[in-house]
Chain A
Amino acid sequence: MSDSKNIFTIDAGDERADGFEKVTGRAKFTAEHQIPNLAYGVFVCSTITKGSIKELDVSKALAAPGVLDVISYKNCPSIPGYNPLTADGKKNNGEWRGLKVLNDNKVRFYGQPIALIVADSFENATDAIKLVKADYVKEDFETDFAKERSDDSKLKPASNYKRGEEKAYQKADVFIEAEYGTPMEVHNPMEMHATIAVWEGDDKLTLYDKTQGPKSVQSTIAKAFGLQEKNVRVITEFVGGAFGDALRSWLNVPAACIAAKKLNRPVKVVLTRPQMFSLVGYRPQSWQKIGIGADKSGKLIGISHAAISNTSRYEDYREGITDVSKFLYACDNVDTNYKILPLDLSTPTWMRGPGEVTGCYALECAMDELSYKLKMDPVELRIKNHADINPENKMPWSAKNLKECYETGKQKIGWKNRPKHPGKLKEKEWLVGYGMGGGVFGAWKGNATVKLILKADGNLILQSAVSDMGPGTTTAMLKVAAESLQIPTGKIKFVLGDSDLPPGPTQGGSGTTSTLGSAVSLICESLKQTVKELAVQQVSAFTNVPITDLDVKNEHVFSVKDSTIKISIAELMKLANKPVIEITKESSANNPQEVKYATNSFSVHFVKLHVHSKTGEIKIQHVVTTGDAGKIISENTARSQMLGGVVGGIGMALTEELKIDHQTGEIANASFGTYHVPLHTDIPLIDVWFVDKPDYIINSIGAKGLGEIALIGFAAAVANAVYNATGKRVRDLPITAEKLGFKNA
């Protein structure tokens, strides 16, 4: 047995658990699985925006070298999910949601897949695209959000809310009214969406798929193809980023399954980068109008928040754009009105901080505008209207340390240097500005099942069918288990990425650490109980020790009252003749305490930037980003996630905008060369700070989520700093030199 002084000292380690695989190139992403006899599928996409295909000539493509098949509406086998009705004439609950690829001759957006070419090589498949000829019947289309949104008859209601008096802000001593715009933004994870479908017979399917939820794909595809869930296996070892675009199954998944079945051969479909702009969702474009007013002391009197965002013609997509205005600040009178506008584009989807990112941009800019009119510091205005309880549901917060974020952020950015009047501070040729903005997102816990396998050599395996798109789920889970069992993380392996494992949650909505971490914590506690019971049953020295006096740490069971009574778990397993201990437990979503509390994570971002006085070039100099996300489980990976939120926010504020050519309906900038995501050279010094106080009301590990709050509110901080530097308020993102009025920029 080890020295008793040392057995309780562990080095949990904070290194990313899969760092080695990632830096050596050994991490296997979806398209990289080596499958014998693999065929390659590539989409032929429409070159009109709306209408139907009159004639599709695939004869030349079929004759091209290596081409095995061209699948289109003309020869696509029917699948159960494409039928609105079941075999016995009832409504089909498993009906495919959204566009049914290759199913009909209708064109709903520019670049919609109209055929899938399957060939024996990527080159042969790609080369045959130009050999498919489509003749279309064109119809008039609408893609221009700015133009169409003003016609109220084209809008569909999404949500309404009223508390107190409507438009009360107009009666306040001081108020502002302003309109804000955000463009379509595209997730663009570095790994492109990919699916490899491998059928074994008619009723068994293995899918290698890029997804944030292997279990979700399993269930979706089982329904679509009329299979038993247990006969669909989804493997997602590594996910090369997603930010929300892998929350649902897109066209590549059924297309690969259909082709592989038709050809009786494994088929891989990988989207191209341009297709990543139109086939896997995007953040919708938005228009917002905020009216906000306060009395002379700065106390908010009323907030009115209206919003419109776009959806597609064939699916309604809504997100909670106006939700933040209901509860971020204490205010008696709030009314919101949110509508959606169908356009002839593909369907938008959840993108990091869906709804809140857009809503907080407008609200936090409006608060800034109000602060200038009140001649009040914007941080003071926020503290003045701090919501001590959630004003929407009148519940106390489970935990809220937002004021600490304000204070720390102010100190670290040097807020005292912020000019009270905009456009007054210069460093050489550069105008200097400071700005801030905050974010909020729901904190929650879902269902998760974890299986634990403890081997005689002390190595512990934890399993759950989740995937990790980059935040470091594996790393965080190892930390939770290591802390619970007081063993080094090196002794633990977390296995994920396979739907055959016990059901885990889809990774999204900042809920993975809370949900899965709770399950890991639960199963570790269960293991402790099991070995304590084993000790009492198997070891004479333990026979008369009450189980409540026993503890488990560093692979030993011991009495907390008498340190001489202890045994290693390995010895215990040997005595009990147990080569392995296996436990499976489900951690439940339903925490009755949760309904008594409002549960949220909060963030505040501070920005110092330069605007060139001659060219309008904007250079962010320093960012301080602060998070109130409960206990930080893995500081290393949590910090990286916050850095990522800032980088995404810089793109949102200054460079990212999906552009449509409204003459043709085609996306005009579907490449990294034309859709500008932030590069190394765009990144300033970024400081990350966490409150790091546990919130045990939400879960037993005290952690809330931070994936979304890392981004929510950041673009407002930049916009507010640009105003502070220049005195010019640009309300349409992205903020460019041109919009600031620098004509020759």
Chain B
Amino acid sequence: MRTCKNDEGRRDFIKKSSAIAALYLAPFILVRAVSFNKIIPQPIAKEKLQLQINGKMFDLEVDARTSLLDLLREQLALTGTKKGCDMGQCGACIVHVNGKIVNSCMSLAIDNNGNKVTTIEGLANGDQLHPMQEAFVKHDAMQCGYCTSGQIMSAVVCVRSGHAKTRDEIKEYMAGNICRCGSYQNIVDAIMDVKESGKTV
């Protein structure tokens, strides 16, 4: 039943991060290729990483295998970004990297040296909600709330990048963000509302 366009959305989504995915998977594939007996566990060196998250500079030393998502959630206590699949298929972990949406589970932390990262925690100004967050509350564009951060981060770029002209265009853009509770219609309502309000996002 999925339309061709929709499938393209899925593919496009994976394509964007496929290079990084390959890198992430590489050590695993190589290890699997040699026999079990020849594997000798090796200590993993940490690497230096400097990046900006929500306007704040971080100087870090991270495990080369750590994804941007796990860096945020497990080491920096920025748990607003969610892990929904760890495979780049659900969109719950979407953050903005240099203004573009990225599945943070598919991006190695160390590949983000010098990058500017915005997470859901960086969207509101203190307790003053971003217009997209306000609209999500107004339209009840959530139920359990687990996919909500990713939906909002995608939605902001959907409007910013001019992909919110029609409901169909919004659905197309948002097709990489799964909501299992099924709040899709309210999410599109929220995005349309923000778009039509003309508010700066």
Contact = CB atoms under 8 A, between A and B. Distances in A.
Contacts of B31: 130
Given A192-B84, A679-B178, A655 B2 contact: yes
A34 B32 CA distance: 34
A213 to B, nearest CB: 16
B137 A16 contact: yes
A24 B85 contact: no
Interface in A148-190: 187-190
A486 B111 CA distance: 56
Contacts of B140: 15-16, 19, 636-637, 639-640
Contacts, number: 222
A278 interface: no
A677 B178 contact: yes
A468 B25 CA distance: 36
Nearest to A276: B85
Interface residues of B, dominant DSSP: loop
B106 interface: no
Contacts of A680: 170-172, 174-175, 177, 184, 187-188
Given A130-B31, A640-B143, A676-B2, A19 B136 contact: yes
Nearest to B132: A23
A31 to B, nearest CB: 8
A29 B175 CA distance: 24
Interface string A1-34: 0000000000000011011111111111101101
A63 B181 CA distance: 43
B183 A643 contact: yes
Contacts of A679: 2, 6, 9-10, 175, 178, 184
Q: Give the interface size class of chain B.
A: 35 or more
A682 B174 CA distance: 11
A647 B41 contact: no
Contacts of A647: 179, 181-182, 184
B147 to A, nearest CB: 5
B152 interface: yes
A130 B124 CA distance: 42
Which among B74, B138, B186 has the greatest number of chain A C-beta atoms within 10 A? Answer: B74
A578 B66 CA distance: 55
A130 B146 contact: no
Given A127-B65, A671-B85, A189 B146 contact: yes
Interface string A432-460: 00000000000000000000000000000
Interface in A238-282: 238-243, 270, 272-273
Nearest to B176: A679
B2 A188 contact: no
A224 B89 CA distance: 36
B81 A25 contact: yes
A646 interface: yes
A472 interface: yes
A470 B143 contact: yes
A643 B136 contact: no
Q: Give the interface size class of chain A.
A: 35 or more
A645 B79 CA distance: 28
A191 B41 contact: no
Contacts of B166: none
Contacts of B83: 31, 192, 270
Interface string B113-136: 000000111011000010001001
A677 B175 CA distance: 11
Contacts of B148: 22-23
A533 interface: no
26 contacts: A15-B138, A19-B142, A25-B81, A29-B82, A29-B146, A32-B73, A60-B39, A122-B70, A130-B31, A190-B90, A238-B144, A240-B144, A242-B144, A273-B84, A641-B143, A643-B185, A647-B182, A671-B89, A672-B178, A676-B2, A679-B184, A680-B172, A680-B174, A683-B171, A683-B184, A683-B188
Interface of B: 1-3, 5-6, 9-10, 14, 28, 31-32, 36, 39, 41-44, 63, 65-66, 70, 73-74, 77-87, 89-90, 92, 119-121, 123-124, 129, 133, 136-138, 140, 142-149, 152, 170-172, 174-175, 177-188
Among all A-B residue pairs, the 9 with the closest Cβ atoms: A25-B80, A647-B182, A240-B146, A22-B145, A470-B144, A644-B182, A32-B79, A470-B143, A64-B41
Given A60-B41, A127-B44, A640-B181, 12 more contacts: A15-B140, A23-B133, A25-B121, A61-B41, A187-B180, A189-B146, A190-B84, A190-B179, A617-B1, A681-B2, A681-B171, A682-B2
